[in-house]
Amino acid sequence: MSTTFDPEELQGLDLPVPTIRPRRLRANATMRRMTAEHRVSVDDLIEPLFVVPGTNVRQEIGSMPGVHQLSVDRAVEEAKDAQALGIPAVILFGIPPEKDETASWLARADGPVQRAIEAIKSAVPNLLVIADLCACEYTSHGHCGLLDVDGGIDNDRSVELLARGALSYAQSGVDIVAPSDMMDGRVRAIRYALDADGRTDVAIMSYAVKYASAFYGPFREAAGSTPAFGDRRTHQMDPPNAREAVKEALLDVREGADFIMVKPALAYLDVLAKVRKAVPVPVAVYNVSGEYSMVKAASARGWLDEERAVDEMLVSFKRAGADCIVTYFARATARRLAKARR
Residue 102 CA: distances (Å) to CA of 105, 142, 144, 219: 9, 11, 11, 22
Q: Out of 121, 210, 274, 296, which one is annotated catalytic?
A: 210
Q: Nearest approach, Cβ of 229 to ligand PBG (angstroms)? A: 14
3-state secondary structure of 45: strand
Write down how long the chain is: 342
Under the rule (CB under 6 A), what is the footprint of ligand PBG? 132, 134, 136, 180, 216, 219-220, 288-289
Nearer to ligand PBG, 123 or 294 (CB): 294
Distance, in Å, from the CA atom of 178 to the CA atom of 191, rounded to the nearest integer, reads 12
Select from 208, 202, 191 the least CA-distant residue to 283: 208
Contacts of 58-66 with C-beta under 8 Å, sequence gap 24+, read 61/218, 61/221, 61/222, 62/221, 63/217, 63/218, 63/221, 63/222, 63/289, 63/293, 64/218, 64/221, 64/222, 64/289, 64/292, 64/293, 64/296, 64/328, 65/293, 65/296, 65/300, 66/296, 66/328, 66/332
Q: Nearest approach, Cβ of 67 to ligand PBG (angstroms)? A: 9
Q: Nearest approach, Cβ of 136 to ligand PBG (angstroms)? A: 5
Q: Nearest approach, Cβ of 294 to ligand PBG (angstroms)? A: 12
Distance, in Å, from the CA atom of 66 to the CA atom of 292, rounded to the nearest integer, reads 10
Residue 238 DSSP class: P
210 labelled catalytic: yes
3-state secondary structure of 272: helix
263 labelled catalytic: yes
Q: Out of 121, 263, 274, 296, which one is annotated catalytic?
A: 263
Nearer to ligand PBG, 274 or 328 (CB): 328
315 contacts 243 by C-beta, under 8 angstroms? no
Q: Nearest approach, Cβ of 214 to ligand PBG (angstroms)? A: 10
Nearer to ligand PBG, 122 or 226 (CB): 226
Distance, in Å, from the CA atom of 335 to the CA atom of 319, rounded to the nearest integer, reads 22
Listed in order, strand segments (DSSP E) in 190-332 are 203-210, 259-263, 283-287, 324-327
Q: Nearest approach, Cβ of 310 to ligand PBG (angstroms)? A: 15
Q: Nearest approach, Cβ of 185 to ligand PBG (angstroms)? A: 18
| b/e map 147-166, b = 16+ CB within 10 Å | beeeeebbbeebbebbbbbb
Query: Which residues are the active-site residues?
Result: 210, 263
